[in-house]
């Protein structure tokens, strides 16, 4: 699947069909997980695939009673072999270990979308209870749970802060409009809204510039669009 389509279609799913997931597809997803980068290439992830109904129900309960999870035929628990990272990177090891597991989790979910499956990342759970259900050794932490299954969910719209609001150039707060940065073609005729969004988040000094007529990001942007 095209990466952009995959990113857009990968919406969190909390309603699953009563249909089992072929183990080969789970294998493909987990292999994608192992392609994640990791600090020192330590690959501190481990995955537990739970299909057993009793265990899944117990896990859902341990996730502060997120009962919708019971409907997912597979739970994947991404575990963090944290010690091997903290042994090598003492100060930042904990963070590196979590980050690597998070990337593995995202890879797993993207691959799931690619093969027609639906997922949801679950981070809200009682670690002690989940560790007990899965019989985890002391040095292995449950990092996140990914529910997996088929669904007839129609993708929801992307509820995202526009990218231009969260990007700065060269230093924090500097969000000078760059012509090539905004995917204008996608907005069709709705240029006014794009312009409004692109310029309304400007820093105060830029707003002043704009008010005094210097810089004029709005008119510059309009000019570009005309070209």
Ligand X SMILES: Cc1cc2nc3c(=O)[nH]c(=O)nc-3n(C[C@H](O)[C@H](O)[C@H](O)COP(=O)(O)O)c2cc1C
* Residue 59 in contact with ligand X, rule: CB under 6 A: no
Two tokens at 193? 């809204």
From the list 33, 35, 38, the residue with the least C-alpha distance to 48 is 33
* Residue 74 in contact with ligand X, rule: CB under 6 A: no
Two tokens at 58? 């117990």
CA atoms within 13 Å, Cβ hemisphere of 118: 22
From 122, 136, 141, 195, residue interacting with ligand X (rule: CB under 6 A): 122
* Residue 120 in contact with ligand X, rule: CB under 6 A: yes
Nearer to ligand X, 86 or 153 (CB): 153
* CA 33/CA 101 separation, integer angstroms: 9
Q: What is the dihedral of CA 203, 204, 207, 208, to 10 degrees?
A: -140
From the list 129, 139, 135, 13, the residue with the least C-alpha distance to 74 is 13
Task: Find the shortest distance in angstroms from Cβ 142 to ligand X.
Answer: 12
From 8, 12, 87, 208, residue interacting with ligand X (rule: CB under 6 A): 12
* Residue 106 in contact with ligand X, rule: CB under 6 A: no
Nearer to ligand X, 10 or 194 (CB): 10
* Residue 207 in contact with ligand X, rule: CB under 6 A: no
Nearer to ligand X, 74 or 195 (CB): 74
Residues that bind ligand X (CB under 6 A): 11-12, 66, 120-124
């Amino acid at each position: 699947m095209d990466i952009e389509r995959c990113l857009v279609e990968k919406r969190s799913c909390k309603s699953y069909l009563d249909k089992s997931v072929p183990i080969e597809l789970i294998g493909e997803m987990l292999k994608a997980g192992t392609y994640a980068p990791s600090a020192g290439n330590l690959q501190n992830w481990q995955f537990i695939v739970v299909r057993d109904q009793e265990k899944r129900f117990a896990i859902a309960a341990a996730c502060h009673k997120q009962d919708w999870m019971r409907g997912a035929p597979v739970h994947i628990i991404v575990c963090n072999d944290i010690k091997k990272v903290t042994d090598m990177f003492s100060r930042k090891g904990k963070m590196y270990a979590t980050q690597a597991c998070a990337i593995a989790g995202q890879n797993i979910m993207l691959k799931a979308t690619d093969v027609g499956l639906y997922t949801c990342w679950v981070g809200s759970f009682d670690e002690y209870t989940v560790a007990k259900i899965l019989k985890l050794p002391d040095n292995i932490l449950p990092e996140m749970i990914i529910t997996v299954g088929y669904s007839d969910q129609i993708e929801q719209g992307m509820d995202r802060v526009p990218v231009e609001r969260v990007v700065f150039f060269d230093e924090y707060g500097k969000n000078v409009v760059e012509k090539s940065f905004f995917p204008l073609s996608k907005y069709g005729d709705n240029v006014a809204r794009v312009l409004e969004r692109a310029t309304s988040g400007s820093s105060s000094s830029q707003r002043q510039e704009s008010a005094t007529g210097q810089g004029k990001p709005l008119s510059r942007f309009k000019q570009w669009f005309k070209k």
